[in-house]
Amino acid sequence: MNHPARIFSQKIFRFIAIAFVLVLFSAPQVHAQTDEQREAIQKFGTALQIINFAYVDSVDSPELVASAIKQMLKELDPHSAYISKEDVERVNEPLEGSFDGIGVTFQIFNDTILVVSPVPGGPSDKLGIIGGDKIVKIDGQSAVGEKIDNDYVMERLRGKKGTTVSVAIKRNGKKELIDFDIVRDKIPLNSIDATYMAAPDIGYIKLTRFSKTSMDEFHESVRELRQEGMKDLILDLRNNSGGYLNTAVELSDEFLPDDRLIVYTEGLRNPRENFYATSTGSFDNEGRVIVLINEASASASEIVAGAVQDWDRGLVLGRRSFGKGLVQRPFRLPDGALIRLTTARYHTPTGRCIQKPYDEGMEEYFKDFKNRLEHGELVSADSIHFPDSLQYITPAGRTVYGGGGIMPDVFIPIDSTRFSDYYTDLVRKSVFNDYIMSYLDNNRAQILSQYPDVMAFKTGFVVDDKMYADFTAKAAEAKVVRDADEKYYYPDEDLKLQIKALLARNLWDAEAYFVVINTIDDELGAAIDLLQNKKQFSELQGK
């Protein structure tokens, strides 16, 4: 006779197996299943029942199913992914363009929560919390010590809009703690890190992701730059790993005339879908454009670069992009988790599919940067060879290439100093961060009174020999010492500029960092030179 508990357990797992089948059949556009597919689904459900019936220990069934889904997706391609219910909001946050919280940029410094800067117009800014403040209590509980890490801060300072959190702040020059009751609100996550005039007539915009708010930010940036006299634009998409396809289409539309094909997507079960430019572009008939890309520019970044390049609208400068030409679509599971499934490939206007191969497995796929470095591709364009079958011709008669990423019109080798062991250790062991925080702890008010804005700081502030000696002493304390025989040497003057740029970022914002550090940016410098040489620009454009 069957034991009642066993019968109940078997019923539960039949239900789980059926639910799994229903999930597979509930997604839109799922086609009729073959006998082979039905057998596979039944096999999965049966295996789950057997495990429950006979396994030696108790089993976490939801976790087991999640692990099975993850492994299945790994067999498909590198970009299909399972996202648990708990992670959905966190993963989507950068693309949604906002989160709920108190509105501060913070760092953990000496086991203390240090406010780097409040978000302008956010709840903390409105209450008068300033950069340099230290949060030492949260809701009456001590918020200092070894327990403090990023997760600790996020759990306590983030929360639903309209809820209140109480903090006690230690401020330099004040003996007593200052208490604040902060009502949480929507906090914007900007996708544009920098907007400024890089040279007379030349505007610069650095876009870090393609989110829901990117186009509003872009339009505001263009308006600002035009008021400052912009005629030509440098769009920096380096290290931009992508985002929403529709945002990439809208941004491409800004540069192309009406009815030009921007990109098309196509998959086995997804018929070809074309995306065209409209007549609403704000930069489609005037001004020259340069798009900066590198080996970490992917997906949506490659759509924009490919459209600009294929229509001879501007020049692409830098190094071959990542090569992600796969389109993911989210499918929600019954428990709130998501499957982001690759459903199509995208193609540039000339027909290029720029997805790099992934048939050698995921580990090899994500080692691509290391492989490019070893093969010399990052330092010499001559090491890159494309077969004739991957050549495509633009309307102006220029040759462009498919087969894995966007190959730029103008190749700029990677800055080898970024491979300096000394510089890497300075970052890895938090020497930069510790020095900057200590310096600003003592000098923030003085610097801000002397330099009212970042341009004044850029022109007037100097990292002198004493500051640099203090910095190298802190490095030595962390056991970071320069090797005289180091292959890749990071110049002292560049290190001083890095310190200055990081000071600017902590005093103002991310844009301030780029305003300062971009003075030694070879790729940006080459873009500026090209825009200032109209003859050379036109020749490279094929006009």
Backbone angles phi and psi of 327, in degrees to 5: -105, 130
- Count Cα neighbours of 127 within 13 Å in the Cβ-side half-sphere: 24
CA angle (82 as vertex; 77, 83 as ends), nearest 5: 140
Element (H, E) at 342: strand 338-347
The β-bridge partners of 166 are 181
Write down the H helix ranges in 238-377: 245-253, 300-310, 362-365, 368-375
The C-alpha atoms of residue 510 and residue 517 are separated, in whole angstroms, by 11
Q: Which residues contact 72 (CB under 8 A, 6 or more apart)?
A: none
If we measure between CA atoms, which residue out of 127, 107, 132 comes closest to residue 445?
132
CA 222 to chain centre: 21
Q: Which residues contact 105 (CB under 8 A, 6 or more apart)?
A: 115, 116, 117, 118, 119
Instruction: Quickly count: other Cβ atoms within 10 Å of residue 261's Cβ.
Output: 19
The C-alpha atoms of residue 25 and residue 268 are separated, in whole angstroms, by 18
If we measure between CA atoms, which residue out of 93, 451, 85, 426 comes closest to residue 243?
93
The C-alpha atoms of residue 417 and residue 482 are separated, in whole angstroms, by 13
Element (H, E) at 72: helix 61-74
The C-alpha atoms of residue 23 and residue 41 are separated, in whole angstroms, by 11
Scanning the structure block, which residue is given the tokens 């825009």? 531
For residue 393, give both structure tokens. Answer: 């011709």
Write down the H helix ranges in 199-241: 214-227
If we measure between CA atoms, which residue out of 194, 252, 406, 429 comes closest to residue 319?
406
Q: Which residues are catalytic?
A: 299, 310, 324
The C-alpha atoms of residue 2 and residue 12 are separated, in whole angstroms, by 15
The C-alpha atoms of residue 378 and residue 370 are separated, in whole angstroms, by 10
DSSP string, 343-406: EEEEE-TT--B-PPP-TT-HHHHTTHHHHHHHHTTTT-GGG----GGGEEE-TTS-EEE-SSSP
Helix (H, G, I), strand (E, B) or coil at 523: helix
Mode of pairing for the β-strands spanning 232-236 and 289-293: parallel
If we measure between CA atoms, which residue out of 238, 209, 249, 183 comes closest to residue 96?
209
Helix (H, G, I), strand (E, B) or coil at 525: helix
